[in-house]
Chains A and B, each alone.
Chain A
């Protein structure tokens, strides 16, 4: 038992899948088994239903309804059996009776499968678990497996059955309802449309279920791929973290170095500063001493200067007194001299004025004299010119007179005649004229 449990627990993750399939697949046997009976009867009917959905003939109706009623009965019986079985399993882990029952149950399955196998070509559309039919090839194998599982893992079976039974009960209820409705319909109208409707509905549900499964599988694959991706991402992250860590370490190293350096620098700076301070202090001390000496010197000098200043002041006072006296003297003298000089100046001014007047008089006289002289000169010039003119006139007159006298005689103008012309008149005229002229002249 424990071993089995252990094995079970070990197997669990792997089996989970198959269990699901089992739970799903585990169902059909019962249904198949339950339906097996009506199907056996319905083998001949189905073609009619398919071909003509006309109301069945009364005998057929009766037959079918009888079968259906029988099915309901069986289902109700099954209901109770299953309840007991379940309770029994609950109370005791495993009962041989139950085992047998189960065995019976299971033993029925091959039969049912054989049954279903035979009408296979005719049934398909009537079967509510049509998709299961496609799996029928696998079915026996699975069934065997299940059997094995059931036997190997009875505990697991019990745990599973709690849910499975519930489902089976629900299915059974549903099936019995459907059959009841069909019977009713058959009784009323002789048709079994209700059954067909239920069938199609179930088929739809089945396909939907298959889709869900497929989707789930896809989802699983996706999850795996995503997990892979996640792993990759994790790896990358890890790698990154590592590099970051390295970098951090590097930075830490640097920080350490920097700290060391800073410490060194700090120490150096401190020492340096101290030294500088010391130096500056020394310098300051020296300078202070020098300055003090200088102050002393300057004080000495100041004292000397003060003394000298006093002396000089005294001296200068004396000098000033002297100079003031002198100044007074000189002022007096200046006044006196000024007065004297003023007087002199006045006298000189007067003299100058008189001299100026005199000068003007003299200038006037000079001008008068000059005028007189010029007048005289002009007069003299005039007289000279006059004399010259007179002389010239005289000469001119003499010339003209001489010329005229000569001309008169030569041209015999007047009384004179040349002697050659008239010899007889020589004496009287010539002499008379000559004498007359001579007389006039002298």
Chain B
């Protein structure tokens, strides 16, 4: 028990350190506050993959009662520590991603055309910005067939991650 608590404590300390590091990157005025808009980036940089909706809920939780447009580190730290301890918003695993692509590939052809991908990514759900879309296309599209073989693409990206 003592060892576990010790380890937990060390893990928490490590998380605190990580979080502080990531937070300080965006604390431009060094007053332990960051812009609300940077929170998503901070969380994502800490290895989480929340959706925009989840992110919005999270911000609503840690924001001040009177929105000031800034998030204080004191408020952010415990919430983020809890998230990391609970391992919430873990990156989506390969098989789940594959299934998601298969759902979009209604004809089960094993690939999606560029137009289909653009349509799904920019018109449905939480649409990509132009920049994000371009980045994705540049990484995924096979220039010869002008389509995306999502299986290969996922495996490639997941390997990269590991």
Q: A435 — nearest CB in chain B belongs to which residue? A: B37
Q: Within the assembled complex, what's the spacing in Å between the Cα atoms of A202 and B99?
A: 189
**Would you call B40 and A392 a contact (CB within 8 A)?**
no
Q: A396 — nearest CB in chain B belongs to which residue? A: B100
Interface residue B4 (Cβ < 8 Å from any Cβ of A): no
| Cβ–Cβ < 8 Å partners of B128 in chain A | 401, 404
**Would you call A403 and B45 a contact (CB within 8 A)?**
no
Which of A403, A427, A437 has most B Cβ within 10 Å? A403
| Cβ–Cβ < 8 Å partners of A343 in chain B | none
Interface residue A152 (Cβ < 8 Å from any Cβ of B): no
Interface residue A440 (Cβ < 8 Å from any Cβ of B): yes
- Minimum Cβ distance to chain B for residue A387 (Å): 14
Interface residue B9 (Cβ < 8 Å from any Cβ of A): no
| Cβ–Cβ < 8 Å partners of B38 in chain A | 430-431, 434
**Would you call A426 and B131 a contact (CB within 8 A)?**
no
Report the count of interface residues on B (CB-CB < 8 A): 47
Given A395-B100, A401-B125, A410-B161, answer yes or no on A434-B131 (Cβ-Cβ < 8 Å): no
Report the count of interface residues on A (CB-CB < 8 A): 40
Q: A404 — nearest CB in chain B belongs to which residue? A: B136
**Would you call A410 and B47 a contact (CB within 8 A)?**
yes
Which of A397, A416, A437 has most B Cβ within 10 Å? A397
Q: Within the assembled complex, what's the spacing in Å between the Cα atoms of A403 and B97?
A: 9
**Would you call A408 and B126 a contact (CB within 8 A)?**
no
Interface residue A6 (Cβ < 8 Å from any Cβ of B): no
In A107-145, the 8 Å CB interface with B consists of: none
**Would you call B132 and A419 a contact (CB within 8 A)?**
no
| Cβ–Cβ < 8 Å partners of B48 in chain A | 406
Which of A389, A410, A413, A419 has a CB less than 8 Å from the CB of B25? A419
- Chain A interface: which of B49-57, B60-68, B71-79? B49-57
Q: Which A-B residue pairs are the 6 nearest by beta carbons?
A: A419-B25, A396-B100, A440-B129, A406-B49, A397-B125, A438-B37
Known: A405-B132, A433-B41. 9 other contacts (CB 8 A): A398-B52, A401-B51, A406-B49, A406-B91, A418-B45, A426-B26, A431-B35, A434-B40, A437-B37
What residues make up the interface of B, taking CB atoms closer than 8 Å to A? 21-22, 24-26, 28, 35, 37-38, 40-41, 44-45, 47-53, 91-92, 96-97, 99-101, 103-104, 106, 120-121, 124-132, 135-136, 139, 157, 160-161
